[in-house]
Amino acid sequence: MRRIVALVLCLWIVPVIAVASSLAPLQSALEAGRYAEAIELGEALLVDNPGHLRTRFLIAYAHQLAGNTDLAAALYRDLINEHPDLPEPRNNLAMILLAAGDYDRASALLVDALNTHPSYATAYANLSAVYKGIASEAYRRAVNESSEPAKHTHNIELAAITRLDSLPEEPLVEAATEAPTAINFANQETRLIEQITGWAEAWSGKEVDSYAGYYADSYRGAFRSHQAWLDHRRERILRPGEIRVEVSDMQIRWRSDNRAIVDFRQAFDSPTYSDRVVKRLAFNRIGSEWKITEERVLSVL
C-alpha cells in the first residue's frame, strides 16, 4: 500500500442503532422497494432464528419482487413442503408459475390454498382471475379457430400475500450483539479495513472466487443477477496481463452497527488501462461477516 491508512476514532460520538429482534426493518425495506437490503436483513435474522417462518417467507417474497423468481419459487416450495397448512406461499408461488405460463399448476396451487384456508380473499380473487383468463383464451382460440399457444393469460395480474397471517405469532430470539462501545467499533473498523485490503489483494492476484467472496450473494451491480455480474467480472479480471490495485486513505462512516460506508482512494493499473479514483463501498454485516452491498466511483482523480 502506498499510504498508511488514516482513521480518526472519535467513536463515542457515532450514532448507533441497535439490532432489533423484529421484522419491522425487513418489512419497511420491502415496502420501500429496497429488496437487496430486505434480503440481507432477513438472512441476518435467520442466523439466530434459522427456522423462523415469517422471516423465511419475507425473504422469498423479497426475492420474488427483485426478479429472482427461481430462487423465490424454491424457497416457497420449501415452506409448502415443511408446512402444508400455509396458504400464503402457495398463493405467491402461483403468481410465479402463472407468469411462466403454467396455468394448470398455478390454479391448482390456489385451489390448495383455499382448501387450507377458505377465508383467504386474495387467493379466491386470484383463482377467479386465472379461471376467467383461461376461459377468455379458450373462447378466443375457438372463435378464431387458432391453435396458437395462449397469449392473453400472460396479462393476468395476481395479488401477492405479504404476511403469514395464518400463522400464530413466533417470537424472534434476541440476537447476541456486543455493546456499541468505542472499543467494539474500533474492532469492527479494523475488520472493515482488513476486508478492503483483502478485496484489493484478491483482485490484484486474479483470485476471482476469493474476490467474489467479499460481496453479498445478492450483489449484482448493474447486471440482472449476481451470476451475470460475476461472469462479467471474471472475464475482466482474467484478461492477460498483470493487475495492480492499491487502496489508501480510508474513511469509515457508520450508518448502524450493522452497516458502514467506506470511502477511499483506489489506484488501478493494468497493461491496457490505469486510473485513480475515489471509490465508495457499502458494507452490511451478514451474520458475523462484513459483505459489500454497494460499490461506486465517486470521482476521478
Cα separation, 165 vs 131, in Å, equals 25
Highest CATH level, class, for 24-155: mainly alpha
Query: Tell me: the pLDDT tens digits for 193-249?
Result: 999 999 999 999 999 999 999 999 988 888 888 999 999 999 999 999 999 999 999
Query: Tell me: the pLDDT tens digits for 141-165?
Result: 555 555 554 444 556 788 888 888 8
In this prediction, residue 136 carries a pLDDT of 63
**Angle ∠(156,162,167) on CA atoms, nearest 5:** 125
CATH topology of domain 179-300: Nuclear Transport Factor 2; Chain: A, (3.10.450)
Confidence band, pLDDT 50/70/90 cuts, at residue 84: confident
Confidence band, pLDDT 50/70/90 cuts, at residue 174: low
Q: Where are the domains of the chain?
A: 24-155, 179-300
In this prediction, residue 288 carries a pLDDT of 82
Cα separation, 24 vs 42, in Å, equals 11
Which pTM was predicted?
0.52
Cell digits for 61? 417474497
Q: Do the domains 179-300 and 24-155 match in fold?
A: no
Instruction: List the one residue out of 216, 186, 213 whose CA is nearest residue 199.
Output: 213
Cα separation, 214 vs 228, in Å, equals 16
Query: Tell me: the pLDDT tens digits for 8-64?
Result: 333 333 333 333 358 889 888 998 899 999 999 988 888 778 788 899 999 999 999
Query: Tell me: the pLDDT tens digits for 233-282?
Result: 999 999 999 999 999 999 998 877 788 899 999 999 999 999 999 999 99
